[in-house]
Amino acid sequence: MKKIFVLLMILGIFFLTGCGKNNEDSAFKDLTNKINKLNSYTLNGTLEIKNNNNVNTYNVKVNFMKNDKFKVTLINTSNNHEQVILRNDDGVFVLTPSLNKSFKFQSDWPYNNSQVYLLKSIIDDLNNDSNVVKTMVDDKYVFTSKVNYPNNSDLERQKVTVNQDLLIEKIEILNDKDEAEMTFTISSIDYDPTFDESYFEVNSIINTQTPNQNDTSKDEKTEEGNQTGDTKTDTSQDTKTATLDDIVYPLYLPSGTVLEQQEKVTKTNGERVILTFTGEKSFTLVEETALKEDEMTIIPTYGEPSFVNDTVGAITDNSLNWISNGIEYYIVSDVMSSAELLNVAKSIDIKAVAATK
């Protein structure tokens, strides 16, 4: 009798364990099918990105419509600086309304690497990993997989938390120590919004006013056509910002690399500083005042859109370009990779520089 009781206990444990595993597999499959069948969606959330000892926080609004239409609005909560990443039939654009500038990329974005705030990218990373881990934590599904961030080798895995209604709640991008380098927390998702084709055109963003987007929970259907415009931005929108009050030096340099020369020159309505660093890992850093254009200007740009410090910039195999706090930065090297340049760029974060003074 005792043996029968023990056997029943073992079978019961096996049955419960098997059911749990099947439940996680079923949820994973259902979530994948759900996301892959979407014709459109809107989501709102908060993105936190670690940069050394600082954290840059963005309010994020993502709009998607089938046939490769994307509009991602990012507002830096520390200065209300707004940027929009747009993909349509004409290409990929990064718009900065405060400067009346639109940088146009010939790019495969968002398909060329992982994107923490895009549902299809999250699902593709999960499905592309044959060793994806599926667990249950506090009645939530947690799926963990590898990610693809070629310009940042520190980003190794994503941990995706999904509730019982198969709504993604949080995505964490982890380093090799299981520390979150990026965390995207989703506050709302609409799986059935409607958009006009014109909603994903550059002209839909120009001259469009928006309420304060710190509240990202409002219904997209009541805000279409009112995504950008009337927000307080950093000093880069002031056309009188024409001087470099301080030269910002990198806090990190590769071993053996030193500042050899610096030159300040006057340009039309502004200033430019050229810093030349020599050594085994030599590079050039250019800083110049970024002024607002009188009209929206489209600027052809090489590279890929990528987060650089507290903004979205452009990254190539050997260069980085970004605008922050009224200063445009350009860093280039013949001998350093984009990942190595990114390490230098991270140390140019003006918040980190200010903390050392």
Per-residue pLDDT band for 215 (boundaries 50, 70, 90) equals very low
DSSP-assigned states of every residue in 331-347: EE-SS--HHHHHHHHHT
Band of the pLDDT at 270, cuts 50, 70, 90?
confident
Write out pLDDT tens, residues 295-346.
889 999 999 999 998 999 999 999 999 999 889 999 999 999 999 999 999 9
- Nearest by Cα to 329 from 281, 277, 275, 292: 275
Q: What share of the chain in percent tops pLDDT 90?
A: 68
What's the confidence (pLDDT) of residue 244?
A: 76
Name the pLDDT band for 232 (thresholds 50, 70, 90). very low
Q: Is the pLDDT of residue 356 over 50?
A: no
Q: Where are the alpha helices (DSSP H) in 107-205?
A: 119-128
Task: Express each pLDDT in 43-59 by its tens digit.
Answer: 999 999 998 888 999 99
Contacts of 10 (CB under 8 A, 6+ apart): none
pLDDT value for 164: 94
Distance (Å, rounded) from C-alpha 219 to C-alpha 43? 10
Task: Tell me which amino acid residue 303 is.
Answer: G
177/169 Cα distance (integer angstroms)? 23
Pick the CATH number of 242-289+316-355 from 1.10.8.290, 3.30.200.100, 3.40.50.300, 3.40.50.1370: 3.30.200.100
Question: Which one-letter amino acid corresponds to residue 346?
Answer: K
Q: What is the SS3 assignment for 126-145?
A: HHHCCCCEEEEECCEEEEEE
> How far from 283 is each of 47, 250, 263, 279, CA to CA, in Å?
31, 12, 15, 9
Alpha-carbon distance of 169 to 140, in angstroms, equals: 10
Per-residue model confidence (pLDDT) at position 351: 53
Question: In CATH terms, is domain 40-222 a member of 3.40.50.10190?
Answer: no
What Rg, from alpha-carbon coordinates, does the chain have? 23
Q: Which of 61-75, 180-194, 234-248, 334-348 has the lowest mean pLDDT?
A: 234-248
DSSP codes, 201-262: SGGGTTT-----TT-TTS-GGGTTT-SSSS----GGG-TT--S-SSPPPPS---TT-EEEEE
When pLDDT is cut at 50, 70 and 90, the band that residue 246 belongs to is: confident
Q: Is the pLDDT of residue 226 over 50?
A: no
Q: Give residue 220's pLDDT band: very low, low, confident or very high (50, 70, 90).
A: very low
Spatial separation of the C-alpha atoms in residues 191 and 217, rounded to whole Å: 15
Q: Which of 18-22, 190-194, 348-352 has the lowest mean pLDDT?
A: 18-22
Average pLDDT, the chain: 84
| Residue extents of the structural domains in the chain | 40-222, 242-289+316-355
Q: What is the residue whose two structure tokens read 């001998």?
A: 335
* Helix (H) / strand (E) containing 45: strand 40-51
